[in-house]
Amino acid sequence: MVARIATVAFEGTQVLDIDVQVQMSAGVVSFNLVGLPDKAVAESRERVRAALFSLGLSLPAKRITVNLAPADVLKEGSHFDLPIALALLAGMGVLPLEEMQRYTALGELALDGVLSPVAGVLPAAVTAATRNRGLICPERNGGEAVWAGEIEVLAAPSLLAIINHFKGTQVLGRPTAQVQDIGDEVTPDLRDIKGQETAKRALEVAASGGHNLLMIGPPGSGKSMLASRLPGILPPLAADEALDVSMIHSLAGLLDEGRLLRRRPFRDPHHSASLPALVGGGLRAKPGEISLAHHGVLFLDELPEFQRATLEALRQPMETGRAVVSRANHHVTYPARVQLVAAMNPCRCGHLDDPERTCGRAPKCAMDYQSRISGPLFDRIDLHIDVPAVSAADLSLPPPREDSATVAARVAETRAIQTERYQRIAEESSKAQQPRTNAEADGELLERVAAPDAAGRALLTQAAEQLKLSARGYHRVLRVARTLADMAGSDAVVKSHVAEALGYRRIVLGK
Ligand SMILES: Nc1ncnc2c1ncn2[C@@H]1O[C@H](COP(=O)(O)OP(=O)(O)OP(=O)(O)O)[C@@H](O)[C@H]1O
Ligand SMILES: [Mg+2]
């Protein structure tokens, strides 16, 4: 007789069905785990044995084989403890054999039978819902599991609670759905920034159209300060986006008490971050910072200090919106649609534009410093701005009147215009995926939605020739001009929009 229960394994964001099978037969007394387990899974034998012992149960004196099928999928993580224990208990007649097959289970066991939270409960619950199964998970993951919809969720504090539930002596109620609390968190406000009007305008343009932004300026001019205020002016996550991002955070084990995210993620990895930390992967495949920032902001402060290979690896995800991670014998993918915000000093000493403070090697050192970042990466950034040092006069000004909430309201309006536009286009055309923001528009679509009027086109053509704009550079100007027109509530892209957009093109340092 074989006792079974379903569980899952993860490959990127893909959830694979795993069948835990337990057979107890006559023979030499043993307890074996087969089916390509990694170290954490192999160790679950000991945890399961100890947890059963703590309940006063011991394993039958039989030959016990636990098989995790299919055998060719590598089983990683500690969430296999619970399904193995449940299948054993079903095999021992403690739990109802037939009924257990209606559930997907995942959770880690402590030696005393208490269930510890695990990563990936939300995606597992969503998959269980499509298979018409219930879900058994640790109590602290219950808040995320119920977001999967109309499925039965048993979120138990311990193994004993599950046994009692099936015996009917202590029924586990449905957990309540948890969401991130954004009420009382203090977020930095734009009012703290004095002067820097151009930079603030660029920040609003970036937020409005979802554009990537690069800030260049001397130390202490407020670049990091500006970047940290971007999430405060971005619109909150739409329901489908919130679920998407929360799935990734769940896989990384970062969902705080199973609360669904509501605020756009803002990730600011340190420049010493390794390639797997940024793009994903590593010993156990984990989403990287670029995926954790999905639908939000990835802020790379001190851009040239990042390792070159790490930066280059960002190019492909920035283009496709997906991070592909190579594993030993296959690839896994994670979604990675981010808005990149980067900040850098113009040169190593940081004072290139200040003749009194600049070092003796300028402007050569600026070129060296800048050359650490490849042209194609610069090319993927729509907005390039100079953030000069703030003057003492600016600093003594009273705080500006406009706060983040006011700017956020304007940004939301501009975003609504874009959503409406691209939805209309999606309905007209048969293409499945349409952009949501101007920053995602490209090629033919861009030419269609952002065609400037005659004067605007004349200016653009002239600038393209004089500045030797590449095709990508040309499109970048159009894209930003479209956002500027949307911000002004104008259907047509006119000369002034093109002129402002041209101002945000790449600044070549040291020249
Ligand atoms: N425009 C400003 N208004 C008010 N305070 C400012 C402004 N700019 C800078 N500051 C002050 O200077 C500090 C340093 O700013 P910030 O860390 O943003 O500089 P930075 O441009 O990122 O410098 P670095 O290049 O060294 O990283 C801030 O914490 C803030 O106190
Ligand atoms: Mg800084």
Residue 416: strand, helix, or coil: helix
Atom of ligand 1 nearest to the CA of 345: 25
Contact 338, 297 (CB under 8 A): yes
In a domain, 495, yes or no: no
* 394 or 65, greater pLDDT: 65
**59-63, long-range: CB < 8 A, 24+ apart:** 59/31, 59/88, 60/24, 60/92, 61/29, 62/24, 62/25, 62/26, 62/27, 62/29, 63/24, 63/25, 63/26, 63/27, 63/28, 63/29, 63/30
* pLDDT score at 362: 65
Mean pLDDT value across residues 21-38: 90
Tell whether 211 and 146 lie within a shared domain: no
Q: Is the CB of 376 under 6 A from ligand 1?
A: no
The tens digit of pLDDT for each residue in 412-432 reads 999 999 999 999 888 887 766
**Confidence grade of residue 16 (pLDDT, cut at 50, 70, 90):** very high
| Calculated CA dihedral for residues 204, 206, 207, 213, nearest 10 degrees | -120
Assess whether 297 and 392 both reside in one domain: yes
| Domain annotation covers residue 453 | no
Q: Are residues 126 and 237 in the same domain?
A: no
Measured from the Cα of 301, ligand 1's closest atom is 27
In tens, the pLDDT along 75-122 reads 888 899 999 999 999 999 999 999 999 999 999 999 999 999 999 999
CA distances to 54, 268, 289, 406 from 402, rounded to whole Å, are 61, 26, 32, 6
* Residue 494: inside a domain: no
Percent of the chain with pLDDT over 90: 60
Q: Is the CB of 196 under 6 A from ligand 1?
A: yes
In short, whether 450's Cβ falls inside 6 Å of ligand 1 is: no
Give the span between the Cα atoms of 451 and 76, in whole angstroms: 51
Q: Is the pLDDT of residue 376 over 90?
A: no
pLDDT score for 213: 96
CA atoms within 13 A on the CB side of 491: 0
Claim to verify: residue 146 and residue 282 sit in the same structural domain? no
Please tell me what DSSP assigns to residue 236: P
Residue 147 lies in a domain: yes
DSSP letter assigned to residue 266: E
Q: Answer whether 372's CB lies under 8 Å from 346's CB.
A: no
Within 13 Å of residue 289, how many CA atoms lie on the same side as its CB?
23
How would you classify the pairing of strands 266-267 and 297-301?
Answer: parallel
Residue 453 has pLDDT above 90, yes or no: yes
Indicate whether residue 300 lines ligand 1 (CB < 6 A).
Answer: no
Q: Which amino acid is at 257?
A: E
> Each residue of 120-166: pLDDT tens digit?
999 999 999 999 999 999 999 999 999 998 899 999 999 999 999 99
Cβ proximity of 475 and 467 under 8 Å? no
Instruction: Please check whether residues 129 and 213 belong to one and the same domain.
Output: no
Examine residue 24 and state whether it is found in any structural domain, yes or no.
yes
pLDDT tens digits, 176-214: 888 887 765 667 889 889 889 999 999 999 999 999 999
Question: Domain residues for 284?
Answer: 190-408
Give pLDDT tens digits for 158-174: 999 999 999 999 999 99
Q: How far, in Å, CA of 344 to CA of 370, rounded?
A: 9
Q: Is the model's pLDDT at 343 over the cut of 70? A: yes
- My answer on whether 208 and 161 are in the same domain is no
From atom 8 of ligand 1, which residue's Cα is the shortest distance away?
222
CATH at 347: 3.40.50.300
Is the distance from the beta carbon of residue 219 to the nearest atom of ligand 1 less than 6 Å?
yes
Rg (alpha carbons) of the chain, rounded to whole number: 27
Is the domain of 98 the same as that of 50? Answer: yes
Out of 198, 225, 226, 306, give the residue to mutate to test ligand 1, the one with the largest number of ligand atoms within 8 Å of its CB.
225
Q: Which atom of ligand 1 is nearest to the CA of 194?
A: 3
3-state class of 302 per DSSP? coil
The pLDDT value recorded for residue 361 is 67
Q: Whose CA is nearest to atom 18 of ligand 1?
A: 222
Burial of 243 (0-12, 13-18, 19+ CB in 10 A): middle
Domain tally, the chain: 2
Minimum-distance ligand to the CA of 387? 1
Task: Give the residue from 110, 135, 167 where a domain finishes.
Answer: 167
What ligand has the least distance to the C-alpha of 228?
A: 1
Q: Which atom of ligand 1 is nearest to the CA of 218?
A: 25
For position 511, what pLDDT does the model report? 45
With respect to residue 199, please indicate whether it lies within any of the assigned structural domains: yes
pLDDT recorded at residue 510: 45
pLDDT of residue 76: 87
Residue 252, strand partner residues: none
* Distance between Cα 220 and ligand 1 center (Å): 4
Distance CA 241, CA 233 (A): 17
Q: Separation of 230 CA from ligand 2 center, angstroms?
A: 14
Question: Environment class of residue 501 by beta-carbon count within 10 Å: exposed (0-12), middle (13-18) or buried (19+)?
Answer: buried
State which of 102, 135, 167 marks the end of a domain.
Answer: 167
- Of the listed ligands, the closest to the CA of 199 is 1
Does residue 216's CB lie within 6 angstroms of at least one atom of ligand 1?
no
Closest atom of ligand 1 to CA, residue 225: 18
pLDDT at 183: 66
pLDDT, position 508: 59
pTM above 0.85, yes or no: yes
Of 408, 435, 459, the residue at which a domain comes to its end is 408
Check whether residue 323 and residue 397 sit in a common domain.
yes
| 3-state SS track over 355-371 | CCCCCCCCCHHHHHHHC
CA distance 288 to 323: 8
pLDDT of 372 above 60: yes
Q: Compute the average pLDDT of residues 432-456.
A: 87
Q: What is the mean pLDDT of the chain?
A: 89
479: in domain? no
> Residues 230, 144: one domain?
no
Task: Clarify whether residues 321 and 368 are in a common domain.
Answer: yes
Of 195-204, 384-393, 429-438, 495-504, the one with minimum mean pLDDT is 429-438
Ligand number nearest CA of 200 is: 1
Task: Answer yes or no: do 200 and 158 share one domain.
Answer: no
Output the domain CATH number for residue 22: 3.30.230.10
137 and 216 inside one domain: no
With respect to residue 115, please indicate whether it lies within any of the assigned structural domains. Answer: yes
Using one digit for the tens of pLDDT, what is the confidence trace for 317-341? 998 899 998 776 778 899 999 999 9
Give me ligand 1 centre to Cα 496, in Å: 31
> Residue 202 Cα, ligand 1 centroid: separation in angstroms?
17
DSSP classification of residue 211? -
Q: What angle do CA 385, 386, 389 make, to 5 degrees?
A: 145
CB of 345 sitting under 6 A from ligand 1:
yes
Beta bridge partners of 340: 298
Strand partners, 333: 324
Query: Where does the pLDDT of residue 368 fall: very low under 50, low under 70, confident under 90, or very high at 90 and above?
Result: confident
Of 42-51, 220-229, 367-376, minimum mean pLDDT range: 367-376
Q: Which of 224, 352, 394 has most ligand 1 atoms within 8 Å of its beta carbon, as the pocket-test mutant?
A: 224
